[in-house]
Structure 1
């Protein structure tokens, strides 16, 4: 019974901290949570104009008539996945540094703090997802039954994000330079992942290397279930789920392993 009560208390604490984190990011702004939609939309508009009008890029398999709209929806799918991961990479190394007061409290469950960042980034992704579904229903290919598989596709993304958050939070607490490296990594990941282009557009000799990037499968599968009406491949999903679960366990273990020294460096 005590374990159940403790679990319920931590769940309530996690929800409260996540809500505060989301609200705190837009505190004092006129649009509030609206920025989680407006920001990606402005970037999407910029990318679409540059690639379709300036560079005359076209997405393979999309007709000329639906070129701009199709391109925008495909890119926006990739931006949702990349945006979630990029936010984790950028914010996790300073998760404890920004809230060092919690470290001094012996009874506070510190592993929850990286989880708060992952969930807050997930809230932004879900808001963007709702916009994508509306746009696709009105301007794109419509709603597909395969969209109900998206939670399965994003489950490895969640576990991958948790594993990285625990690792980067622990490392970033001791090595402050980690925050600078992850900022660069988030930007590099935008171009090293099939966000602005399909994986099929990559030269054949580079594709094996691209598929080592876990975002490749996550982005391509998100597009498949939402925009193309295709179900995810079970074998690849099981592989992604297994690898991301291992990373999540390892990240949690590493965080707990080095947790005792946090107070000494903050």
Structure 2
């Protein structure tokens, strides 16, 4: 894996060109062009706000200490934006090697280039939305210093998507059924993280199971920063580091075993 990281650094200019080409290719032939990349998730976020905050004016559970709980739409947007960014980047990275199979068979390019391209293209779409969300939620976090935690969180999330997406891409190259199973897990994974509900509403004896979802740590961190203006809890930072370390170890082990056969599988 370190060899792949050095290759990505060496080919950073090529990686940048490939990333821009992928973004343009997604919306080639449309009048809106790259604007659709931001319009689609932004319209989804606006729908959450309109339905749950403006129309129904619902609250997300009960706040502690007698304070008012955040509006449900504002609560959902924080978690859903993080989940959409993670899901989009990881699933695109997962399919990247199969889609680039012909190119890899004809050119001696490092396979890591294509999951990285997919993650970077997704990051260029969702990172500006995360910044806009931080500005929109200014009345909630009051510009607290905790907002500075967003940068390492976003970078760590991109690393998570690359590690998991690359690992799934290797497994998908070996067995195409992996992509089908992973797609199903991503569709239900949003219900196994505190995205649609506060952590406190989940039964306490089953609450530890939520940490098996890699995005739980990030969602709780974003909620702490944007909704409360507080630094993410220590257990969330610890879970972030554990997930990155475990996925790095698994990916490194997988690459050691399949390096010679990977291109042949494609």
Report SS of the residue matched to 1:179. Answer: helix
Q: Whole-Å Cα distance in 2 between the matches of residues 45 and 154 of structure 1?
A: 22
Pair 239,186 (structure 1): closer, same or farther in 2 beyond 3 Å: closer
Q: Whole-Å Cα distance in 1 between the matches of residues 124 and 207 of structure 2?
A: 31
142-151 vs 234-243, which moves further: 234-243
* Match of residue 22 from structure 2: 21
* Match of residue 248 from structure 1: 248
Contact 1:36–1:128 at 8 Å: present in 2 too? Answer: no
* Match of residue 120 from structure 1: 121
Contact 1:146–1:225 at 8 Å: present in 2 too? Answer: yes
* Match of residue 135 from structure 1: 136
Compute the displacement of 1:118 (Å).
1.6
Q: For the aligned residues, what is the CA RMSD?
A: 2.7
Contact 2:141–2:225 at 8 Å: present in 1 too? Answer: no
Q: Whole-Å Cα distance in 1 between the matches of residues 130 and 50 of structure 2?
A: 21
Compute the displacement of 1:20 (Å).
1.7
Instruction: Give the structure-2-normalised TM-score.
Output: 0.83
Q: Whole-Å Cα distance in 2 between the matches of residues 100 and 54 of structure 1?
A: 48
Q: Deviations over 1:232-259 (max 9, x none)?
A: 2345414421431331243144135313
Compute the displacement of 1:7 (Å).
6.5
Contact 2:140–2:228 at 8 Å: present in 1 too? Answer: no
Compute the displacement of 1:161 (Å).
1.5
Instruction: Give the structure-1-normalised TM-score.
Output: 0.83
Compute the displacement of 1:106 (Å).
4.7
> Is the counterpart of residue 165 in structure 1 residue 165 in structure 2?
yes
In the comparison of the two structures, how many residue pairs are matched? 257
Q: Whole-Å Cα distance in 2 between the matches of residues 72 and 94 of structure 1?
A: 32
Q: Whole-Å Cα distance in 1 between the matches of residues 55 and 8 of structure 2?
A: 54
> Is the counterpart of residue 107 in structure 1 residue 108 in structure 2?
yes
Q: Deviations over 1:181-209 (max 9, x none)?
A: 12211110111111122111212222111
Q: Whole-Å Cα distance in 2 between the matches of residues 215 and 153 of structure 1?
A: 11
* Match of residue 3 from structure 2: none
Compute the displacement of 1:75 (Å).
1.5
Report SS of the residue matched to 2:97. Answer: coil
Contact 2:142–2:229 at 8 Å: present in 1 too? Answer: no
Q: How is 1:228-239 mapped onto 2 (pairs within 5 angstroms)?
A: 228-234=228-234, 236-239=236-239
Pair 8,196 (structure 1): closer, same or farther in 2 beyond 3 Å: closer
Contact 2:140–2:226 at 8 Å: present in 1 too? Answer: no
Q: Return 5+ residue gaps in structure 1 as ranges.
A: none
> Is the counterpart of residue 220 in structure 1 residue 204 in structure 2?
no
247-256 vs 192-201, which moves further: 247-256
Q: Return 5+ residue gaps in structure 2 as ranges.
A: 1-5
Report SS of the residue matched to 2:84. Answer: helix
Compute the displacement of 1:227 (Å).
2.8
* Match of residue 178 from structure 1: 178
Q: How is 1:8-157 mapped onto 2 (pairs within 5 angstroms)?
A: 9-48=10-49, 51=52, 57-60=58-61, 61=63, 63=68, 70-137=71-138, 140-157=140-157
Pair 118,6 (structure 1): closer, same or farther in 2 beyond 3 Å: closer
Q: Whole-Å Cα distance in 1 between the matches of residues 175 and 9 of structure 2?
A: 34
Pair 215,8 (structure 1): closer, same or farther in 2 beyond 3 Å: closer
Compute the displacement of 1:123 (Å).
1.7
